[in-house]
């Protein structure tokens, strides 16, 4: 016998409502991503040309080429480009759908606290991705193409494959974009009470060493790219420490107000 909504008790019905809403919002996200993919696939060649521009500018004028060693490689590169671009284009709508699902369960004060993080996330990610595209990739490609020349009388020529190049570009953009979300992560941990400003200040030297290690891992093996990522991250870390100061004061004030309310509502003990 099929289960009907009226057969559910009052404790199960709200859960079912949440699951139905989650399904509907996920469905909207999938539809949005699909529509964006269809549009981006039509312009996949133009988008890929935009991604190739830093490499083309690093080659001497009239030289350089991209190759594909498998017959289907160029086709799958365009699919990957379309998926990557579709996610970027549809991210605001997807993020809004997730927020609309989570927001009703938050208090007004919690919504107000999380709103700055939601607004800062795309801004910081875009800043990191822009740094990778406009600064890191041209510098890195110019450095790496400097190894072209003659070796024992044999020409040494760079022939990057389309798939390998796209993987490298996506890796750099995502690595720099996600790394620039460091302030959001630290401030969320601070707001949740997991870390405090004093703890982060004490561990500053270890954090800076960790930043340089991460920069060495996610960037190509040259010092310039490592410094281009590490220095902004150190600056963002210091900015996070400054922003934690008013957040800690606000948290201490909220705890005092909570203690005062608890003391005022506590019933007097009878002798």
The angle that helices 223-265 and 182-191 make with each other, rounded to 10 degrees, is 20
Structure tokens, 141: 């490609």
The answer to whether residue 271 is domain-embedded is: no
Total of domains in the chain:
1
The answer to whether residue 255 is domain-embedded is: no
The answer to whether residue 107 is domain-embedded is: yes
Separation in Å, CA 175 to CA 29, 133, 162, 200 = 24, 12, 20, 23
**Nearest-CA neighbor of 200 among 162, 148, 240?**
240
Query: Cα-flanking dihedrals φ and ψ of residue 162, to 5°?
Result: -60, -45
The answer to whether residue 264 is domain-embedded is: no
The answer to whether residue 4 is domain-embedded is: no
The answer to whether residue 112 is domain-embedded is: yes
The answer to whether residue 267 is domain-embedded is: no
**Is the full-model pTM beyond 0.85?**
no
- Residue 163 burial by CB count (10 A; 0-12/13-18/19+): exposed, middle or buried? middle
User: What residues contact 118, with CB distance under 8 A and at least 6 apart?
Assistant: 95, 99
The answer to whether residue 196 is domain-embedded is: yes
Question: For residue 26, what are the domain limits?
Answer: 18-146+159-245
| pLDDT by residue, tens only, the chain of 271 residues | 455 545 544 555 577 887 888 899 999 999 999 999 999 999 999 999 999 999 999 988 878 889 998 899 999 999 999 999 999 999 889 988 888 888 887 778 777 777 888 888 889 999 999 999 999 899 889 888 888 777 777 888 888 999 999 999 999 999 999 999 998 888 888 887 788 888 888 999 999 999 999 888 888 777 888 888 899 999 999 999 998 887 666 665 655 555 555 555 555 544 4
């Amino acid at each position: 016998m099929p289960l009907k909504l009226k057969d559910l008790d009052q404790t199960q019905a709200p859960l079912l409502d949440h699951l139905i809403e989650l399904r509907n919002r996920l469905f909207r996200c999938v539809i949005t991503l699909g529509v964006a993919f269809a549009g981006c696939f039509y312009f996949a060649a133009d988008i890929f040309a935009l991604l190739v521009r830093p490499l083309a500018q690093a080659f001497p004028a009239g030289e350089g080429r991209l190759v594909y060693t498998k017959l289907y490689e160029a086709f799958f590169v365009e699919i990957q480009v379309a998926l990557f671009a579709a996610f970027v284009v549809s991210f605001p709508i997807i993020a809004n759908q997730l927020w609309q699902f989570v927001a009703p369960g938050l208090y007004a004060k919690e919504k107000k606290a999380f709103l700055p993080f939601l607004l800062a996330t795309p801004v910081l990610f875009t800043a990191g991705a822009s740094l990778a595209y406009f600064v890191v990739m041209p510098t890195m490609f110019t450095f790496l193409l400097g190894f072209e020349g003659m070796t024992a009388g044999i020409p040494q020529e760079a022939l990057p494959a389309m798939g390998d190049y796209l993987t490298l570009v996506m890796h750099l953009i995502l690595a720099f974009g996600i790394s620039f979300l460091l302030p959001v992560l630290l401030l969320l941990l601070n707001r949740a009470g997991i870390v405090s400003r004093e703890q982060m200040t004490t561990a500053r030297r270890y954090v800076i060493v960790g930043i340089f290690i991460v920069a060495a891992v996610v960037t190509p093996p040259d010092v310039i790219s490592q410094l281009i990522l590490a220095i902004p991250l150190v600056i963002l870390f210091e900015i996070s420490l400054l922003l934690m100061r008013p957040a800690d004061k606000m948290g201490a004030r909220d705890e005092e107000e909570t203690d005062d309310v608890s003391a005022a509502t506590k019933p007097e003990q009878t002798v």
